[in-house]
């Protein structure tokens, strides 16, 4: 054992020599990430799902996410989301309240404004949550385009065009995740 001083406290750390076993353990601040050996390779799933993946955005922290939004999401995020959700550009633009003419201008500029980026992120996060809860991209795509009784018979895609509507869709996904009848 050896003592390691961190920013706030002293903690004990146990050193383990695994070189002779032929295994590699990668330890990060959030735990083990993967284990490799000559015979097997095991990918250990992260305990934290990263929302925004469907946009091609992987913020490292909340501050990083805010900075990305302030700079504006690249147009490629819009393209990636509309292809990932298997919906038309027009439908995605409608769901994010981005006018078609504005979308054409943004494509020329290469990035969105902060408010447009926030709306894109909002929908991307909902889609990622649907993938996580429903278990697959195909199930999430179908669910987002299927009218839901708890959403007044609208599709989650239609209902999430406002912040309160998006929160209601998020609540519905939470109820599905926890098996609460809706």
| Residue 22: domain span | 2-43
**Do residues 112 and 120 touch, judged by C-beta distance below 8 A?**
yes
Is residue 48 one of the residues assigned to a domain?
no
Is residue 32 one of the residues assigned to a domain?
yes
pLDDT of residue 50: 63
Same domain, 107 and 18: no
Same domain, 136 and 165: yes
Domains identified in the chain, total number: 2
* 106/99 Cα distance (integer angstroms): 10
Same domain, 38 and 85: no
Average pLDDT per block of 10 residues along the chain, 182 residues long = 50 48 51 48 49 86 91 96 96 97 97 97 95 94 96 96 96 93 72
Beta-bridged to residue 42, according to DSSP, are 35
pLDDT of residue 15: 46
């Amino acid at each position: 054992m050896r003592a390691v001083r961190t920013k706030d406290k002293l903690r004990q750390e146990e050193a383990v020599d695994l070189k002779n076993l032929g295994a590699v353990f990668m330890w990060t601040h959030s735990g083990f990430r993967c284990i490799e050996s000559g015979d097997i390779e095991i990918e250990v799933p992260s305990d934290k799902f990263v929302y925004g993946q469907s946009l091609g955005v992987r913020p490292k922290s909340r501050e990083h996410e805010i900075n990305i939004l302030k700079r504006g999401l690249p147009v490629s995020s819009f393209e990636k989301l509309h292809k990932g959700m298997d919906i038309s550009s027009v439908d995605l633009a409608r769901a994010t309240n981005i006018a078609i003419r504005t979308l054409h201008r943004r494509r020329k500029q290469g990035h969105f404004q902060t408010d447009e980026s926030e709306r894109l992120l909002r929908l991307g996060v909902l889609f990622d949550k649907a993938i996580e809860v429903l278990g697959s991209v195909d199930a999430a795509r179908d669910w987002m385009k299927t009218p839901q009784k708890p959403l007044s018979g609208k599709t989650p895609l239609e209902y999430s065009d406002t912040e309160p509507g998006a929160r209601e869709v998020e609540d519905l996904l939470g109820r599905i995740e926890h098996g609460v009848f809706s």
